[in-house]
Amino acid sequence: MRHQDITNDNDTETDTAEEDDITETEETTTTGKDTPPDLTLSFSKLSYKRLPKNCVKFSFLSLNSVTFLAGISAVIISIWMLADNKMMSRLIGQRIYITTLLIIGIFASLLAIIGIFGFLKRKQNFLIIYIMFHALFLFMIFVCSILSFSLFDKLTKSIHQDMTNSIENYRYLDWVAEAWDNTHRYLKCCGIRSHDDWEKHGMLIPQSCCSTTVDKCLNMTAEVVYESGCLNGAVDFLKSSVHTVSISVLLVSLALFANLFFALAARKKFKMYPLNE
């Protein structure tokens, strides 16, 4: 009799446990139906908590080292282009864009140093500055991308005006003469819109407009010079660079986003990095 009572008690406990499991299952199902999962929280846990610390360290330091080297390269190229009198940029007056490249190169190099120093020394303030400037830089790229749609027409007018101003100084400034001669040879063009521009400004057609052998260009006439003007050639040259510039901007944006991502991850994982590591 006692054995039967114990058996009944066990059966009762088993039934109660099964009912509790069923109730919990129903509650979980109901919760899953009524409350959608928080994707933002899930992504945050996936991105920060599951990244190995060595992956964060290696990726952050590698990306910023590449950024530093790219910034130094941009500085060197910009200084070289600004100092070279033979560059076509001197003629079409686009030194402001080269100067912008110089500033961006300096900015990127300094920001990379700040990020590396803040990461290695576990300086929260440096990383906060790093993150803020990266976010600002991404926003500026987004705004500039929108504004660039209306920039090309203004740039064409600016090139035409700069060429008109410089052609008048062909006989007086050596760097203008060098720039025009190199532009003629590089773009295989003559004048602004045609070789007639030289006659309009009271000058002979330069020897650099020669489209044939030197012996046939002793007397510069319309038959031996390039037919197209340099304005169209300069615009076509800029158009050919749009594809390269677009890819460069995309790569820069991805690099900035990656740097920002790993900087945020580093701040979350600072406690995991002992100072002696």
Tens digits of per-residue pLDDT, 105-143? 888 888 889 888 888 887 778 888 888 888 888 787 777
pTM of the model: 0.52
The residue that leads in pLDDT, 22 or 218, is 218
Q: How far is CA 205 from CA 124, 193, 199, in A?
A: 64, 13, 7
Is 2 a residue whose pLDDT tops 60? no
Instruction: Tell me the pLDDT band of 202, cut-offs 50, 70 and 90.
Output: confident
Instruction: Identify the DSSP state of 50.
Output: T
Q: How many CB atoms lie within 10 A of CB 11?
A: 10
Quote the longest CA-to-CA distance of the chain. 132
Residue 201 and residue 171: Cα distance in Å, rounded?
11
- Residue 87 Rama label (left phi>0; alpha psi -120 to 50; beta): beta
Residue 90 and residue 165: Cα distance in Å, rounded?
12
The residue that leads in pLDDT, 230 or 45, is 230
Please write the tens of the pLDDT for every residue from 238-260. Answer: 776 666 666 666 777 777 788 77
For the ranges 18-27, 86-95, 190-199, 212-221, the lowest mean pLDDT is seen at: 18-27
Handedness of CA 256, 257, 261, 262 (dihedral sign): negative
Is 224 a residue whose pLDDT tops 80? yes
Q: How confident is the prediction for the chain on average, in pLDDT? A: 72
Q: Which residues of 100-109 are buried (b: 16+ CB within 10 A; e: fewer)?
A: ebbebbeebb
